[in-house]
Amino acid sequence: MSDLSYNALHAPFGAFSSFTCGYAVSWDATPAPNSGGFGASTRLPAQQSVFAGWRRGGGAWNLLPFVRKRADRSSDFSGATPGEAVRNQDYRTLGHGDFSRRLGLASDRWTSGPFELQIFSPFEKIPDWEGLADERRKLLCAPVVTARCSADNRAGSEDIEILFGFGDTERGLRLLGDTEAGLVGFASATAYGFAARPQPGLRVKSGMDLFSSWREDARGTHLLGSEAALILKVPAGETRSLDLALAFLQQGTVTTGIEAPYYYSRYFQRLDDVLSYGLDHHGDYVAMAAGRDAELDASGLTDDQKWLVAHAVHTYLGSTQLLSHDGRALWVVNEGEYRMMNTFDLTVDHLFFELAWWPWAVRDTLDLFAGRYSYVDTIHSKDGGRSEGGIAFTHDMGVDNQFTPPGVSSYEVPNLTDCFSFMSSEQLVNWVCCAVTYAEAAGDQAWLRSKEALLASCAESLRRRDDPEPANRNGVIGWDSDRCGPKGSEITTYDSLDVSLGQARNNLYLGVKTLAAWLLLSRAFARLGLEEDARKAVDTAALAGATIMAFRDRATGLFPAVFENGNSSRIIPAVEGLAFPLFLGMDAELGDLDRRTGLVAALGVHLGAVLRRGVCLDTASGGWKLSSTSDNTWLSKIYLCQHVARSLFPAALAGESGASADRAHIGWLLSPHTRHLGFCDQIRSGDGFPYGSKHYPRGVTSWLWMPRGQAAGA
């Protein structure tokens, strides 16, 4: 990865916060507003300047290009011409070729001459949160990001200074040493800040204009100013490092509906205490990050793939929110720019990553869906039939820190046929897929046993949504929830794509995923000793497979995206559902299914045929298009389907649909429309414009690419 200008999130685990940087805002004639900096619970990255760089012998500063166009706010005080430019500009921002960058799984590193900036966002495998020692929990959920600035001046004959800081136009920055003698740094009120420990040659600097000294006190500060930095002298002939902690804090109850504070608030009530803790454990965090980096480095993935994985994981971590409720952890992943909470069609995709790192989070989320965010509905058919439905699950658990009431999502409203309609059937399928995958991957038989009745209800609900009359069933969802109202119909997670993926009923993508759910149910029932149910589940999977096969165009070998209305869109997510049995190593079951229906082989043929320019490869960019009839394509789902293809249908990846597609996908994320937003999901396939799902966690489906042993977490 030689590309330099993109924002990566550097996020503590579970703090719904990120110190985001990397986008070269200084290079752009029309810079994006979301330059980066400290962002807590934000829709998009923050809008601050980040100052990091070095100078030699008191000359001009060389700064990484993270500096916004600056205006000296002193004109607000002095009555001078508004927006007056800063008086001094004794710095330059580094250009292409002046520095290098390397993104690791849990780090980001910029090097320019003798200067290096590293930011660490470590995380660790947590098999059981509640089982951890308290000190360990504190270490893992402290809302702190670790960083280090350093310079190697061993070959130099002049002193070097290195600098790290930020500018927050809305706020004066307080000097931490004023209240904590052991901290050298700055903070914005009680919310966020950065600090180092005192060391020789370290000084503070702040003001309306960081690069001027005509208006500062004897310490180098002006507390009214909104730019602040630490400066460390690195004498000629020496090497020095500035170890930094970057911290966030939000006090009190942060959510409603379920009223909960952050889990970290058990340990931290003051920002200064977070900073001190972060500095005391700086080495622990750096070591933890190094472990993660080494694992990705050793994965055997291509460099492009490593970057795609790392970039996705960085953004995902910024969306995680670990709350405390009823004496236990309460897990939330926030949905990027939409900030919906534990959106189920994201949970099912985060599943594979989360099982590797924090499987209890999957379990707890499934329990909360089962206990609070499930409902029992009635259903109707296209031609006016009415019946009891069964259990289903909501799309999400709320939005913007509000947990919605039991059985209600923030997203779904009735009487629609597209965006914002209900996803009852898909979320039912998702609960089954997540539940069985969790129980199998974690080996949690006791939990599976506790869900025996619910699994049976899910199976029954799936059957009824196929058709209430057993004789009419074909294994595929055919009825709609009455929650949609008389004028509405169910949709899928692909709400914003065209009809090829939008409706739930008679949908190829959901059909194969439903089939997968039946295979998983068969596994679960077998584990529970319910052999008869297991056999029936396998049969239902085969029934679904046969149904889907019946819609295959024999001439072309292709499947239509929807088994209604003469649809002939071609879609890649035909294979998406296979990810679950694949993940669980159910090769025998897939082989058996293929023998009975021919579906698996046929899907391989389909995939190979659609992965062509002008069908499901974008004509211009060469990137994967989920649907032949929509230029809105979703990277997280591409990653998932790439994994299925690589594992089951390698032949489909001959030529440009294979490794070179990774390059195209990187190109989207680095496009001028997108590169400042962290990972984005909904992409315009021609040019990388982000249609939606900006600043989004779902890209961790790429974790599936990791070699089997590693994929399960360190």
Binding site for a second copy (CB under 8 A): 43, 74, 76-79, 170-172, 174, 178-179, 187-190, 214-218, 222-224, 251-257, 259, 269-270, 337-340, 398-402, 404-405, 408, 410-411, 413-416, 418-420, 495-497, 632, 682, 691-692, 694
User: In what helix (H) or strand (E) does residue 231 lie, and over which residues does it extend?
Assistant: strand 227-234
Name the DSSP letter for residue 405.
Answer: P
CB of 189 to a second copy, least distance (A): 5
Q: What is the CA radius of gyration of the chain?
A: 27
| 8 A C-beta contact, residue 511 and residue 544 | yes
Of 630 and 657, CB closest to a second copy: 630
Strand order in the sheet with 374-380: 386-393, 374-380, 480-481
Query: Min. distance of Cβ 507 from a second copy in angstroms?
Result: 18
* Burial readout 199-225 (b: 16 or more C-beta within 10 A, e: otherwise): eeebebbbbbbbbbeeebeeebbbbeb
Q: Min. distance of Cβ 137 from a second copy in angstroms?
A: 21
Closest CB to a second copy among residues 489, 632? 632
CA 25 from centroid of its chain's CA atoms: 23
Specify the residue, 216 or 533, whose C-beta has the smaller distance to a second copy.
216
In the complex, least distance from residue 71 CB atom to a second copy, rounded to whole angstroms:
14
Nearest distance, CB of residue 25 and a second copy, angstroms:
21
Q: Please enumerate in sequence order all residues whose Cβ is within 8 A of that of 614, keeping only pairs 6 or more positions apart, or say none.
A: none
CA distance 181 to 192: 18
Structure tokens at 585: 């190593």
Minimum distance, C-beta of residue 255 to a second copy, in the bound complex (Å): 8
Shortest Å distance, C-beta 250 to a second copy: 9
- Return the beta strands (E) in 132-201 as ranges: 144-152, 160-167, 174-175, 184-188, 192-196
Q: Which spans in 503-565 are helix H?
A: 508-527, 531-550
> Which of 204, 455 has the CB closer to a second copy?
204
Q: Which is nearer to a second copy, 179 or 660 (CB)?
A: 179
For the CB of residue 483, give the shortest distance to a second copy in the complex, in Å.
Answer: 9
Phi/psi of residue 196, each to 5°? Answer: -125, 175
Least distance (Å) between residue 193 CB and a second copy: 10
Q: Which is nearer to a second copy, 234 or 245 (CB)?
A: 245
Q: Which is nearer to a second copy, 73 or 523 (CB)?
A: 73
Residue 505 vs 684, nearer CB to a second copy:
684
Nearest distance, CB of residue 167 and a second copy, angstroms: 14
Tokens representing 304 are 């492009």
DSSP string, 104-156: ETTEEEEEETTEEEEEE------S-TTTS-HHHHHHHH-SEEEEEEEEE-TT-
CB nearer to a second copy: give 170 or 383. Answer: 170
Cα 632–Cα 45–Cα 316 angle in degrees, nearest 5: 65
Residue 104 backbone dihedrals phi, psi, to 5 degrees:
-105, 175
- Residue 384: HSE in the Cβ half-sphere, 13 Å Cα cutoff: 0
Backbone angles phi, psi at 612, to 5 degrees: -135, 150
Interatomic CA distance for residues 76 and 82, integer angstroms: 7
Q: What is the rounded distance in angstroms from the CA atom of residue 144 to the CA atom of residue 424?
A: 38
Write down the least CB distance from residue 558 to a second copy, Å.
Answer: 25
CB closer to a second copy out of 493 and 621? 493
Q: What SS3 class is residue 392?
A: strand
Nearer to a second copy, 236 or 413 (CB): 413
